[in-house]
Amino acid sequence: MNRPLPPYPHLLAPLDLGFLSLPNRVLMGSMHTGLEEMDHPFERMAAFMPHGPATASH
Amino acid sequence: MIVTGGFSPNRDGGIRQGSSVLDNEAEAARHSIITDAVHAEGGRICLQLLHTGRYSYGRQPVAPSAIKAPINPATPRALSDDEILQTIADYARSTALARQAGYDGVEVMGSEGYLINQFLAPGTNLRDDRWGGNFENRCRFGLEVLRAVRAAAGPDFILIFRLSLLDLVEGGSTWDEVEAFAKAAEGTGINLLNTGIGWHEARIPTIMSSVPRAAFSALSARLKKVVKLPVITSNRINDPQVAEDILARGDADLVSMARPFLADAAFVTKAAAGRADAINTCIACNQACLDHIFAGKPASCLVNPDACREYEAAAPATPRARKVAVVGAGPAGLAAATTLAERGHRVSLFDAAPRIGGQFNYACRIPGKEDFAETLRYFRTRLRELEVTQQLGRTVQAADLAGFDHVVVATGIIPRRPPIPGLDHPKVASYIDVIEGRHPVGRKVALIGAGGIGFDVAELLTHPGDSPDPIAAYREEWGIDAAYTDNRGGLTPARMPAPVRELWLLQRKTGKLGAGLAKTTGWARSLLLKKRGVHMLGGVEYVGIDDAGLHIRVDGQDRLLEVDTVVLCAGQEPRRELAEGLTAAGTPFTLVGGADVAAELDAKRAIWQATEFARQF
């Protein structure tokens, strides 16, 4: 049985950098969130980062 | 892959005193909370190194030359040769610390007009030593930083350089210089070429909603032809299909999105699962992200109140499901209905109109705000997935709601009709009728009221008409020469299309019009109307409207604006008759959004207030 093509094949393709592979073609670009200046800044920044499936392969 | 916000390699380079720096091991150790969290989920993360140079609001900004930036009251001090070498060493030290902290790589920021750009551009670098004077010397700082960073990192560490493709300032780089620097940077051992558009001080909008989607991917494509490394493109990419098309065309190898992740952290997950309809799209309003940062507040997102609040407790499911009626399906009602349903309440959503959306139905018809329709698509999907009962095209009274445990009154606003003689004249229209195309608008128009709605209607009525090539139209109207024909910075005189109308934008308050508009977008909206020849008058007293036009008094002088149409953009009042009926019936209710406070239409306030109520109910 043929499986349907994955959606967004270019967007979700890995990128081989030689010493490692990026899971897809999406970069979450740099943003100044102001979390750095709050209490528990690193905990807040850690929680802010999108979790695995958003940035790794599905 | 994630790139963090900017961390300065030293104290001088921070955006302000006390802002993020990575210059010692104790700091580096604190970062492992972040890198461990990302790695635990299979992700990759790079730290951005950013030295702000003359943009720093710290004690004493530094730069290649002592030339003040238009957007900074302080003049920078020119760095000495030793200080430049020290700065390069600082970048290297920060890189080693980043590696120690568990980052997979580092992004060296070289766009938006920060220190590296300040060295590269002749307009900001007047040095006559080895760091300035000719192009090769101006490149030296950036290239030495990259070499030092690679040496400190070792070979198996991601190194990204973010290059400015288009400075959009006088005295900026030429395209040949951009290409030459990119090729030279390739030789320093970087792995990826990220790209950016415009310096912060540029007077051309590059990321707000009126910038067409993926407006600059063609420029990334141009770079891609001359470099071997993967190229990353960015700016106004907020949709997975747009991103996919960019990559399929070969314009770039990766796509960078920032604000779209504030709007929806699950963007990629949803796209990958074939659930693009469920993505909460970034509408590039800047109202709760950049505007907050400029006001010294932490960022969040107008369409996603949870953004940047992930550390705080999530709203728990309700211990007791109740029957809740949400009356009004504008942004406040939609936010309330979906959040209540998510928590387990049994929600029925009503609206007198046959469709959801409220004021967003008007906003999305303003040129440059088309993406507001995506928010409605997102809510439509969420309502369906949460199985919220919807009764649209139905006006409800208190008696219809007797069976509910609670009612959310989200009935929004009615436009204010100011007490001006002649308001009933046929040439007078409400902004809603004009936006919906229900009232003909002549060639000469006066707008009463210059708040957000006044500016929106002014943009709508002076819009030259939809172009078959919106990106080209945007470039022409703003004076962007992506071909860099004969100029530095990619600037060229703007080519304004022939005006379609003569328009007067009026307000009662004295002073500059648009002073109350949002910080990071208001300047561009105001500038656009000025470029289109819109007459802006403050301190206006409205005397009356008749066949001759709109009679006003300004600075004690009577004036007649011989206009065909007068549009009322004079504020709004809450619509909350339902609340009176519910009070009489003894049904518990909560007012949210415009029905609660209508002073200045505020989608952020509406969505956040409604969401906050629903999280706790």
Is residue B519 domain-shared with residue B603, that is, in the same domain? no
**B316 in the Ramachandran plot: left (φ > 0), alpha (ψ -120 to 50) or beta?**
beta
Q: What are the two backbone dihedrals, phi and then psi, of residue B92, each rounded to the nearest 5 degrees? A: -65, -45
Q: Determine the Cα–Cα distance for residues B174 and B487; give it in Å rounded to an integer.
A: 7
Q: Both tokens of residue B100?
A: 């120690």
Note the pLDDT of residue A52. Answer: 55
**Same domain as B183, residue B73:** yes
Catalytic annotation, pick one of B114, B362, B378, B542: B114
Residues of B in contact with A54 (CB under 8 A): 43, 261, 265-269
Helix (H) or strand (E) holding B544: strand B540-546
Same-domain pairing of B119 and B196: yes
User: Which chain B residues are within 8 Å of A51, Cβ to Cβ?
Assistant: 41, 43, 265
Same domain, B507 and B369: no
Q: Which residues of A touch B262 (CB under 8 A)?
A: 31
Q: What is the pLDDT of residue B357?
A: 98
Q: Residues B30, B16: one domain?
A: yes
Residue B257 reports pLDDT greater than 70: yes
pLDDT digits (tens, 9 = 90+) for B459-491: 999 999 999 999 999 999 999 998 888 789 999
Query: Is residue B219 less than 8 Å (CB to CB) from chain A?
Result: no
**B217-224 and B240-249 helices cross at what angle (nearest 10)?**
30
Under a CB-based contact definition with an 8 Å cutoff, are residues B55 and B113 in contact?
yes
B102 within some domain: yes
B584: amino acid identity, one letter: A
What is the pLDDT at residue A3?
Answer: 65
**Residues B357 and B454 grouped into a single domain:** no
In this predicted structure, the answer to whether residue B511 has a pLDDT above a threshold of 60 is: yes
Whether the CB of A14 is below 8 Å from some CB of chain B: the reply is no
Angle at B377 between CA B375 and CA B381, to 5 degrees: 115
Mutation target to probe the A interface, by most A beta carbons within 10 A, among B2, B51, B234 is B2
Residue B565: CATH number of its domain: 3.50.50.60
CATH of the domain at B119: 3.20.20.70
**Average of per-residue pLDDT values in chain B:** 97
CA distance A2 to chain B (A): 17
Cα–Cα distance measured from residue B403 to residue B309, given in angstroms and rounded to the nearest whole number: 35
Asked whether residue B470 is domain-assigned, the answer is: no
Rg of chain A in Å (alpha carbons):
16
- Please determine, for residue B271, whether its predicted confidence score (pLDDT) is greater than 50: yes
ipTM over 0.90? The verdict is yes
Asked if the Cβ–Cβ distance from A32 to B30 is below 8 Å, we say: no
Mean pLDDT of all residues in B27-40: 96
pLDDT by position in tens, chain A (length 58): 566 677 999 999 999 999 999 999 999 999 999 999 999 999 999 999 987 544 544 3
List, as one string, the DSSP characters of B443-481: SEEEEE--SHHHHHHHHHHT-----S-HHHHHHHHHTB-
Distance of CA B507 to the CA centre of its chain: 26
List C-alpha distances in Å: B314 to A51, B264, B317, B520. 15, 15, 9, 30
Using an 8 Å Cβ cutoff, are B346 and B589 in contact? no
pLDDT digits (tens, 9 = 90+) for B55-70: 999 999 999 999 999 9
Question: Is residue B58 included in any domain, yes or no?
Answer: yes
Say whether residue A39 is in contact with chain B using an 8 A CB cutoff. no
The predicted-structure confidence for B198-242, as pLDDT tens digits, reads as follows: 999 999 999 999 999 999 999 999 999 999 999 999 999 999 999
Quote the DSSP letter at residue B382: H
Place of tokens 């461990």: B36
Q: Do B509 and B443 reside in the same domain of the chain?
A: yes
CB atoms within 10 A of CB B120: 27
Strand B105-110 to A26-28 pairing: unpaired
pLDDT per position as a tens digit, B126-146: 999 999 999 999 999 999 999
Res A1: pLDDT:
57
B452 found inside a domain: yes
Q: Is B67 on the interface with A (CB under 8 A)?
A: no
User: How many domains does the structure of chain B reveal?
Assistant: 3
- Is residue B360 one of the residues assigned to a domain? yes
Place of tokens 């779209």: B260
Determine whether the interchain pair A30/B107 forms a contact, defined as Cβ–Cβ distance below 8 Å. yes
| Distance (Å) of CA B608 to CA B339, B563, B592, B612 | 11, 40, 10, 6
Q: Which residues contact B347 (CB under 8 A, 6 or more apart)?
A: B324, B325, B326, B337, B340, B341, B386, B388, B389
pLDDT given at position B291:
97
pTM of the entire predicted model = 0.96
Contact (CB, 8 A) for B423 and B380: no
pLDDT of the residue at A53: 43
Q: Nearest by CB to A55, from B34, B43, B248: name it.
A: B43
Q: What range defines the domain where residue B355 resides?
A: 323-415+573-616
In-domain check, residue B109: yes
| Inter-residue contact B6 to B160 (CB < 8 Å) | no
- Judge whether B268 lies within some domain: no
Which residue among B37, B257, B259 places its CB closest to the CB of A46?
Answer: B37
Given the DSSP bridges, would you call strands B549-554 and B540-546 parallel, antiparallel or unpaired? antiparallel
Do B101 and B40 meet the contact criterion of CB atoms below 8 Å apart?
no
Per-residue confidence at B351, pLDDT binned at 50, 70, 90?
very high
Name the residue among B489, B491, B448, B593 with its Cα closest to residue B124: B489
Q: What is the DSSP letter of B558?
A: E
- Mapped onto helix, strand or coil, the DSSP state of residue B11 is helix
CA A31 vs CA A34, B65, B383: distances in Å = 9, 27, 31
The whole-angstrom separation of Cα B454 and Cα A23 is 46
Look up the CATH number of the domain holding residue B355.
Answer: 3.40.50.720
Number of A–B residue contacts, CB under 8 Å: 193
Q: How far is CA B398 from CA B325, B395, B593, in A?
A: 11, 10, 19
Q: Is the separation of the CB atoms in B578 and B593 below 8 Å?
A: no
DSSP string, B566-593: EEE---EEE--HHHHHHHHHT--EEE-G
Q: How far apart are CA B274 and CA B262, in angstroms?
A: 20
Chain-chain contact of B244 with A28 (C-beta, under 8 angstroms):
no
Report H helices in chain A.
Answer: 41-48, 52-55
Q: How far apart are the first and last CA of chain B?
A: 37
Pairing mode, if any, of strands B572-574 and B565-568?
Answer: unpaired
**Position B536 pLDDT exceeds 90:** yes
Residue of A nearest to B265 (CA): A50
In a shared domain, residues B565 and B583? no
Residues B113-127 have pLDDT tens digits of 999 999 999 999 999
Cβ contact, residue pair B2, A17, below 8 Å = no
What Cα–Cα distance (Å) separates residue B574 from each residue in B303, B413, B568? 22, 4, 16
Residue B585 lies in a domain: yes
Whether B195 and B175 share a structural domain: yes
Contact list in B for residue A26 (CB cut-off 8 A) is 1, 243, 254-257, 267-268
DSSP alpha helix (H) spans, B101-132 = 115-120
CB contact under 8 A, A17 and B191: yes
B114 is annotated as an active-site residue? yes
Question: Based on the domain organization, do B150 and B45 belong to the same domain?
Answer: yes
Query: Over the stretch B362-392, which tens digit does the pLDDT of each residue have?
Result: 999 999 999 999 999 999 999 999 999 999 9
Same domain for B603 and B457: no
Optimal mutation site among A19, A24, A31, A44, interface B, most CBs of chain B within 10 A:
A31
Q: How far is Cα B509 from Cα B93, in angstroms, rounded to an integer?
A: 54
Is the same domain home to B564 and B517?
yes
With beta carbons less than 8 A apart as the criterion, state whether B579 and B441 touch. no
Q: Is the pLDDT of residue B23 over 60?
A: yes
Contact A54 B194 (CB under 8 A): no
